[in-house]
Amino acid sequence: MTLSGKTAIVTGGNSGIGKAIVLALAEQGANVVIDYISHPEATEELERQVAALGDKVIGVEADVSNVDDLKRLVSAAVDAFGRLDVMVNNAGIETRTGILDTTEAQFEKVIAVNLKSAFFGTQLAATQMIAQDSPGGVVINISSVHEEWPMPGNIAYSCSKGAMKMLTRTAAVELGPKGVRVVGIGPGAVATPINTVEMTPETLARLNAYIPLGRMAQPEEIASVVAFLAGPGASYVTGATIFADAAIMLQSPGL
């Protein structure tokens, strides 16, 4: 198990891609801190799954758009496990609105959850990683293929992910000499409830036609890339977005 003895935080960790990441890191032997903002019962069930793998785990209710909550999240990891080695900035939301109908409140909420949380999550995690005995670690930002390709009808989300690309690149240059790697993962369409609950068979078929493998990615596929990047085998990878899933799609006005 390549992450034995390491400690990881996963924001937005009790559902979807975050849940799969928690399990993938635990399967590699990591102690895991599950950040969540709702559905404590889902967190408790996930904690039981991780514990069954033989790993240590805690759930922490924290709003990652709030810097004080992020500080508390990092402190909880260190208090429970003694150090922090992996920070996965996964939490994210979207509005599915365009430039003409996105409100100020919607825009600010998306930027706070998707970008502000990753910025200060990176800052706080790196500060801890540098200060602790055996300094070093890795920050993994879960971005999106839409950091590169426009997504009409979801503009605030696209703005947040485009900014996350430069956060990843710039932080990697600043933190690399201090022993902290910063890497991004940019999935395309992933089969999670947020993407499938309102999708008709016709819409899904049209989407799949634009995906090279003809299907949406599974959360476990994204999680396996996170687990690899968190481990020693990826020590050379920093400052880049890995377009990691089976579902990188060509943008089409028809979607």
Q: Where in the sequence is the domain holding 104, given as residue range(s)?
A: 7-242
- Domain holding 190: CATH number? 3.40.50.720
**What predicted TM-score, i.e. pTM, was given to this entire model?**
0.89
Whether residue 249 lies inside any domain: the answer is no
Whether residue 252 lies inside any domain: the answer is no
Whether residue 12 lies inside any domain: the answer is yes
Whether residue 199 lies inside any domain: the answer is yes
Q: Residue 167 in contact with residue 140, Cβ under 8 Å?
A: no
Whether residue 195 lies inside any domain: the answer is yes
Concatenate the DSSP letters of all residues of 197-218 into one string: TT--HHHHHHHHTTSTTSSPBP
What's the pLDDT at 198? 57
Whether residue 200 lies inside any domain: the answer is yes
- The total of structural domains in the chain comes to 1
User: What confidence tens digit (pLDDT) does each residue in 137-165 have?
Assistant: 999 999 988 887 888 999 999 999 999 99
Whether residue 52 lies inside any domain: the answer is yes
Query: Active site includes 210?
Result: no
Res 7 pLDDT > 80: yes
User: What confidence tens digit (pLDDT) does each residue in 176-217 have?
Assistant: 999 999 999 988 777 676 666 556 777 777 777 767 777 777
Give the residue from 185, 191, 194, 183 showing the smallest Cα distance to 237: 183
CA 116, CA 185: separation in Å to the nearest integer? Answer: 17
* Catalytic residue (choose from 36, 157, 210, 236): 157
Query: For residue 174, what are its two tokens?
Result: 């600043």
What's the pLDDT at 219? 86
What's the pLDDT at 254? 34
Whether residue 190 lies inside any domain: the answer is yes
